[in-house]
Amino acid sequence: MLKGIWNLSDNCLSEVEDRHVVDAISIVDKHLCEVLNAIPAGTDWKAGLNPYDDDGESIHTYYSFLKSFLTGTQLVAFAQKRVDAIKDGRGFHHLMQAVENGEDTAEGMKAKLDAQIEDAKGAGLNFNAVAKLFLHDVGVVQPKAPSRRRRKNANKDGTRSPGTHMIINVAKFLNRCLGMPLHLCTSAPLHRQSMLTNHLIKCLDKRVRDAKSAGDFDIGIQTLTGNNVSVKKTRAFNFRGSEAKDESVLVHSVVIDRGMSSDAALKVYGEAIQADQRGSKIQTGFYIDGRALFKQCTPVYLVLSLGRTSPNAVVVRPNDGRTCFNIDHVMSRFVQPSLRCDDMAKVRKAWDAEFALANIGSDEYYQKWSKGRHRKPTHIFGGKIVPVINKLLAATLPRLDDTHQVSLPTKDIIKPKIVRIEVGSVDEEPGGESVEVVECKNEAIPLVTNVDDIPDDCERAYEVKFEGKVPKLFVGIEFPEKNMDWVIGSDELT
């Protein structure tokens, strides 16, 4: 967001309001009046923008900022219009003084001011320009890139060197917005704050929408979804005997169909084409790959653009649902070898054919580069899992404190993760009515192990009959089915 403001970008989510333009004009006109009064007649007004050598630091900084602001490529025409208006007696403060002296009416002044507002907008005074002007008043300024010498001689204690600015985070941005002054000509309170905080919310909403479209929105819990998600089996275990009969650890066997039907794909496409795609490197649409290397069917891809500023795009497949890739990979792997198809009947036919072929396990190929859509069952631990969480972690992760060397670095360990499971198909809403599951044993069965060294607190562990229903929406811990291959000494652990 701030990058667009610093660069005075024309691409902005918010439109500047007239009252904000008036406020900006009043600031600029006040400064230009001082400049024009201080320079000899006939002198170029740009020369008067330079700060004096004996100016204080704050005045020097303010004059330097306005010189850069008003003489830049985008706003120099706006500044020239303001200079001409001041010289002709049509400046903002001239208009206000005329009303105060009874030389003009409020209606007449408003008509003249409205014309100047439109001129200012046409000359480049957009939302980002007004925002940059307002933010400078409260110290939210563009951070200076450190020079090579400054980077080399950076302070060892982490303090800032003179002339540098702190990076602006959200907390600092909001705190500085609270210090913005009220409008000069209206009783509406906090209008500058509202302008910038509303813009922040719009930018945040867009980032969230883009992340959700890309499939990489991180809410701290991954959601296991697909064309269909079902609980195949649920087992219950007690680890503390009769003292804690209600503390059952549940193990859900979850089956996921990762594909996407043609109805769902066409719905996604219909929503995606409503977005603004101007300037995007990739255009949203269906692409059909007719190369001869595909023997069973003609692959079809739905490519979704994430906007002109995103380096990624989303590819939707009948067998694999949504996947986010770098744009270069999407272009070389999916778009360039294919032809775009806008015939929705042809798209549906090709999509349904591949969706049917993909009705196999995800460890099987139905043709080149194409695996089935049915993921192997994953096991989700839920229920009263806290008392045994450390044991479960110890059982699924390698012992890094072992005296033998572990062959994989720590960063490559496949760790358990908290997930959300939405049971049902893509056409159903999560939550609501529960579903029946397959019940296990009718009697308590002690757990059996092939080692003699059983911890004392696990000797009373046993499996019990699971009673009840599994909700359509629940949270649990997913443990990896396989920790890759860990080689400890001469033993291979999987």
Over residues 389-433, the pLDDT tens digits come to 666 666 656 555 554 444 555 555 556 777 778 787 765 544 433
Q: Whole-model pTM?
A: 0.51
Q: Grade residue 302 by pLDDT with cuts at 50, 70 and 90.
A: very high
Decide if 284 contacts 330 (C-beta within 8 A).
Answer: no
**pLDDT tier, 359 (very low <50, low <70, confident <90, very high otherwise):** very high
Q: How far apart are CA 277 and CA 126, in angstroms?
A: 21
- Region 43-62: mean pLDDT is 84
pLDDT at 357: 96
Q: What is the pLDDT of residue 410?
A: 53
Long-range residue pairs from 285-288, CB within 8 A, at least 24 positions apart, any chain? 285/340, 285/341, 285/342, 286/340, 286/341, 286/342, 286/347, 287/334, 287/335, 287/338, 287/339, 287/340, 287/341, 288/338, 288/339, 288/341, 288/346, 288/347, 288/350
**CA neighbor of 75 nearest in space, from 37, 33, 128, 35:** 128
210-254: pLDDT as tens digits: 777 666 666 566 777 889 999 888 888 777 666 666 777 888 889
- Tokens standing for residue 318: 């009948």
Q: Over pLDDT 90: what percentage of the chain?
A: 31
Among 156-160, 165-169, 205-209, 298-302, name the one with the lowest average pLDDT: 156-160
Res 169: pLDDT: 77
- pLDDT of 478 reads 80
Where does the pLDDT of residue 311 fall: very low under 50, low under 70, confident under 90, or very high at 90 and above? Answer: confident
pLDDT on residue 275 = 78
Angle, helices 57-71 vs 76-87, to 10°: value is: 100
Instruction: Look at residue 318 and tell me whether its pLDDT is greater than 90.
Output: yes
Residue 186's pLDDT band, with cuts at 50, 70 and 90, is: very low
Does the pLDDT of residue 319 top 60, yes or no?
A: yes
More confident residue, 215 or 193: 193
Q: What is the mean pLDDT of the chain?
A: 78
Is the pLDDT confidence value at 46 over 80?
yes
Q: Can you give 75-112 as a three-state secondary structure string?
A: CHHHHHHHHHHHHCCCCHHHHHHHHHCCCCCHHHHHHH
pLDDT in tens, 91-106: 999 999 998 899 989 9
Assess whether pLDDT exceeds 70 at residue 463.
Answer: yes
Which of 255, 261, 263, 254 is CA-nearest to residue 321? 261
* pLDDT value, residue 460: 56
Which pLDDT band, with edges at 50, 70 and 90, does 209 fall under? confident
Residue 344: the pLDDT is 96
